[in-house]
Structure 1
């Protein structure tokens, strides 16, 4: 019996992620047709996930698919993941963006995290952020980790939030 090396598994993983993107694109194209909205669909693989973006045509407005604070986008992402799972039999972790909402939100969250990092370093005390959804928390955790600090999520959905803490090397006090 032979086992696949990581190099041999990579093409299979990429093919599976491309398939997820294609299934998601078909699902979203049908949705756009039903809603009588115009948009193009871009597919990519980012951070070991299928990444699907619906981009508005020149005169198009897709804000109805985003909703205020992205709640419609979150729901559409879950429905799209379910559509992919129904076809593949496997849970999907695909990321959906519409009209660049997530890309813009990622920049805002990175700035928020950088402000919190600065404050934690100056005060040597942990900082609690406002409640964030899972995508938003992940962006903050990644930014904090890249800066060498520690973060964790606390609370219960929908009020789950991130706490940014001094790094252990900084000798920060931890809250109980």
Structure 2
């Protein structure tokens, strides 16, 4: 019995469906790695197929399947046209699964500055805890968190340059705890600036200041 398969198709969804048939499993029983999203080309010229690697989950990954089941039930209850799939079984940061939500309405779940996404992640993990699932599940929507992290790292570098040039502190807009952590980490080893958080709740902010302040 094969545990993993690499498949190509016209689209990512086509490739996934073929792989599920080949492995004789349902979508919540596997992890899906998108190797290439493919290209349609111009009038079919230069088109390339999408490629995915689909891996059957082992018993140690039961938390992933349970999380997928509950999350898809939540999405159905909310009448959201989106589907949850497992991106990574063991996230290097917290050793838990990373689940990605994709679909027509997926973007609606992000909310302002990712607040809806954070709330949904909190609710899902509370449900899992109440059902004796100990793994922490990280939610993402079409790579939003990765894109947001890159944007915050770029912002941190630009703000640090301004602080050093003007010798004045700059206070950033309110951010979630995970977003503040990105800023702190990005500038932790910066020779010319330091960072601090202040405020409370949704109004907690990061201030970037000269090292000698």
Q: Same fold (TM over 0.5)?
A: yes
Q: Does the 8 Å CA contact 2:106/2:141 hold for their aligned counterparts?
A: yes
In structure 2, the CA distance between the partners of 1:67 and 1:154, relative to structure 1 (3 Å rule), is same
Q: Does the 8 Å CA contact 1:25/1:52 hold for their aligned counterparts?
A: no
Displacement of 1:161 in angstroms is 0.2
3-state DSSP of counterpart to 1:158: helix
- Output one character per residue of 1:84-136: Cα deviation in whole Å (capped at 9) or x when no partner: 2212375x653211122222211221111111111222234332111111121
- Output one character per residue of 1:151-173: Cα deviation in whole Å (capped at 9) or x when no partner: 12101111110012333xxxx12
Displacement of 1:144 in angstroms is 1.2
3-state DSSP of counterpart to 2:99: strand
In structure 1, the residue matched to 2:127 is 83
Structure-2-length-normalised TM-score: 0.60
The answer to which structure has the higher helix fraction is 1
Q: Does the 8 Å CA contact 1:113/1:144 hold for their aligned counterparts?
A: yes
One of 89, 93, 97 as aligned partner of 1:47: 93
Q: Does the 8 Å CA contact 2:64/2:86 hold for their aligned counterparts?
A: no
Q: Does the 8 Å CA contact 1:151/1:162 hold for their aligned counterparts?
A: yes
| Gaps in structure 1 of 5+ consecutive residues | 1-14
How far apart are the structure 1 equivalents of 2:110 and 2:138?
14
Structure-1-length-normalised TM-score: 0.71
| Root-mean-square deviation (Å) | 2.7
How far apart are the structure 2 equivalents of 1:153 and 1:20?
34
In structure 1, the residue matched to 2:28 is none
How far apart are the structure 1 equivalents of 2:144 and 2:125?
18
3-state DSSP of counterpart to 1:46: coil
In structure 2, the residue matched to 1:69 is 113
In structure 2, the residue matched to 1:139 is 182
Higher Cα radius of gyration:
2
In structure 2, the residue matched to 1:10 is none
One of 53, 56, 65 as aligned partner of 2:102: 56
3-state DSSP of counterpart to 1:88: coil
The answer to which structure has the higher strand fraction is 2
| Gaps in structure 2 of 5+ consecutive residues | 1-57
Residue 99 (str. 1) matches residue 142 (str. 2)? yes
Higher relative contact order (CA 8 A, sep 6+): 1
In structure 2, the CA distance between the partners of 1:39 and 1:113, relative to structure 1 (3 Å rule), is same
How far apart are the structure 2 equivalents of 1:161 and 1:36?
32
